[in-house]
Amino acid sequence: MFCKCAARASRALRPTHPRCGVLTLPALSDTVSASGTSWSHWTYKRESSNSAWSSKVPQIPTWEPVAENQLPPPDLVDKLERLALVDFGSKEGVDCLEKAIRFADQLHVINTDGVEPMDSVLEDRELYLRDDTITEGECAEELLRLAKHTVEEYFVAPPGNIPLPKREERSAMLKHSEF
């Protein structure tokens, strides 16, 4: 799988995530818990390390391999592709997606009990409220110039949402594309 350093992680922590199951390596079986309490393992490790300088970044890489059967089912990825209109194109594309998700999964290690979620760093600022006056508009020509094809000052679109072709058809379509 994509993690080559798993074998080296003898005292590794296990950021568990409901989506990805984890291969239990023989060396880890006694330190690994069944579900979701890896954070308590981590504090234990911290307290026992006795170092004045406590970094939240683990000293040893903590990647874990993910078995094929633990990956999200292929139609979930397909559904994501339809919703976001992003084509993963091939196995490499899906692997790339998996890596990206895995990287982000590290966020689940952090304890956020009692901490309000933050959407924006500007939460302590006043949201500026504008006066109700007309300040923009009347630039139809400028906007229509951006479209290749217009009809009498309207933008032109296909008659409805064109559903993404099925996976098999897509691979035929993209055979000659960069993917």
Partner 1 sequence: LGPVMLDFSVPIRRWVMCRQFQCHQLFISWALLSSLPQMVGVVGLEIHAQIQSTSKLFSGSHVRFLAPPNSLVSHFDASLPGTLPVLNRRCVEAAVLTGLALNCTINRKSLFDRKHYFYADMPAGYQITQQRVPIAVNGMLVYSYFEGRRRNQVVTKSVKIKQIQLEQDSGKSLHDDERSQTLIDLNRAGVGLMELVMEPEMCCGEEAAAAVRELQLILQALGTCQANMAEGQLRVDANVSVHRPGEPLGVRTEVKNINSVRHLAKAIDYEIQRQMEVLQSAGKVLNETRAFDSKSGNTIPMRDKEGLQDYRFMPEPNLPPLFVYESEASVPAGVDPAQVVVIDRLSGQLPELPSVKRTRLVETYGILQEHSFTLVNEDGLIDYFENVVQTTKAEPRKVIGWVIKELMGNLNSQNLNVSQSPISPCALAELISLVESGHISSSTAKQVFQEMWKAPEKTVGQIVKEQDLWMINDKEELQKICKRIVDSHPEEVQIIRGGNKKVLNKLMGEVQRETKGRTDPVQIRAILEKMVS
Size of the site for partner 1 (CB under 8 A): 40
Instruction: Choose, by CB under 8 A, the member of 83, 91, 115, 176 that binds partner 1.
Output: 83
Q: Which residues neighbour 96 within 8 Å (Cβ) at sequence distance 6 or greater?
A: 88
CA distance 106 to 39: 12
Instruction: Choose, by CB under 8 A, the member of 35, 159, 168, 175 that binds partner 1.
Output: 159
**123 scored as a contact of partner 1 (CB under 8 A):** yes
Instruction: Give whichever of 53 and 154 is closer to partner 1, judged by the CB atom.
Output: 154
**Residue 15 buriedness (CB in 10 A; 0-12 / 13-18 / 19+):** buried
CA distance 170 to 152: 34
Instruction: Choose, by CB under 8 A, the member of 86, 100, 104, 143 that binds partner 1.
Output: 143
Instruction: Give whichever of 5 and 107 is closer to partner 1, judged by the CB atom.
Output: 107
Contact yes or no for 21/67 (Cβ under 8 A): yes
Residues that bind partner 1 (CB under 8 A): 79, 82-85, 119-120, 122-123, 125-140, 143-144, 146, 151-161, 163
